[in-house]
Chains A and B, each alone.
Chain A
Amino acid sequence: DAKTTQPPSMDCAEGRAANLPCNHSTISGNEYVYWYRQIHSQGPQYIIHGLKNNETNEMASLIITEDRKSSTLILPHATLRDTAVYYCIVRVAGGATNKLIFGTGTLLAVQP
């Protein structure tokens, strides 16, 4: 699987948009970009995924650059409960035959 690069930490003011970047310059054409988050001492939680188009769901928006070498996860109105480690992962489609490998992620601290 291709590797991803994320900043180790970011701060965001409560109520503001949190923009979390991810670099995946070696991504292959059949690899999806996934985002998960992990609140302290809990299991990771799926947020969103995409291939090449921008995606939005009730939790967040995912913006993927046209060359697919980077992406940005956007939390439109961050709350204190959004404080967590956010993981950007690339994974080939195909389910359990393709491992989901977590990196170190970005620790997002939402400040009151």
Chain B
Amino acid sequence: ETGVTQTPRHLVMGMTNKKSLKCEQHLGHNAMYWYKQSAKKPLELMFVYNFKEQTENNSVPSRFSPECPNSSHLFLHLHTLQPEDSALYLCASESGDGPYEKLFFGSGTQLSVL
């Protein structure tokens, strides 16, 4: 148990669906991340939020829309996805205010787009 909870654990959606991924951290952290991991590829950083403000958007297509209503919750809203968006989506958090940090990751949401 890392203190970072992601739901759902698995998600299957059609290309016309709208769905949301949820991440919650119980660590009192101020920074939260979304990473994407396609099969047999390295983790790709998607978004970073620090103190609820988006500080990084790594050229992510607009069909992925993040939302960070408070420092404990992070969402990834999905709409009109493509089959190549099928991947493991990982959320992570860190305290965000220290000189040397470590990320705590959730178990991820395995997304399949049909």
A and B are partners in one complex rather than unrelated chains: yes
Q: Give chain B nearest CB distance to A71 CB in angstroms.
A: 15
Contact B101 A95 (CB under 8 A): yes
Query: Is A43 touching B92 in the complex (CB atoms < 8 A)?
Result: yes
Task: A32 to B100: give the CA distance in the assembly, Å.
Answer: 8
From 30 to 55 in chain B, residues with beta carbon under 8 angstroms from any chain A beta carbon are 30-31, 33, 35, 42-43, 45, 48, 50, 55
Check if A96 sits within 8 Å of B107, measured CB to CB.
no
* Residues on B with beta carbons closer than 8 Å to the beta carbon of A100: 33, 45, 103
**Are A104 and B102 in contact, with the CB atoms below 8 A?**
no
Specify the main secondary structure of chain A where it touches its partner: loop
Task: List the B side residues contacting A45 at CB < 8 Å.
Answer: 2, 105
Residues on the A chain within 8 Å of B105, using CB: 42-45
User: How many residues on B have C-beta within 8 angstroms of the other chain's C-beta atoms?
Assistant: 32
Instruction: Number of A interface residues at 8 Å Cβ cutoff, please give it.
Output: 22
Q: Contact check: which of B4, B30, B42, B45 meets A99 at CB < 8 Å?
A: B45
**Interface presence of A93 (CB below 8 A):** yes
* A46: B residues at CB distance < 8 A: 102-104
List B residues at the A interface (Cβ < 8 Å): 2, 4, 30-31, 33, 35, 42-43, 45, 48, 50, 55-56, 88, 90, 92, 94-108, 110
A interface, CB within 8 angstroms of B? 32, 34, 36, 41-46, 49, 93-97, 99-105
Closest 7 CB pairs of A and B: A43-B105, A96-B31, A46-B102, A102-B43, A96-B50, A93-B99, A96-B96
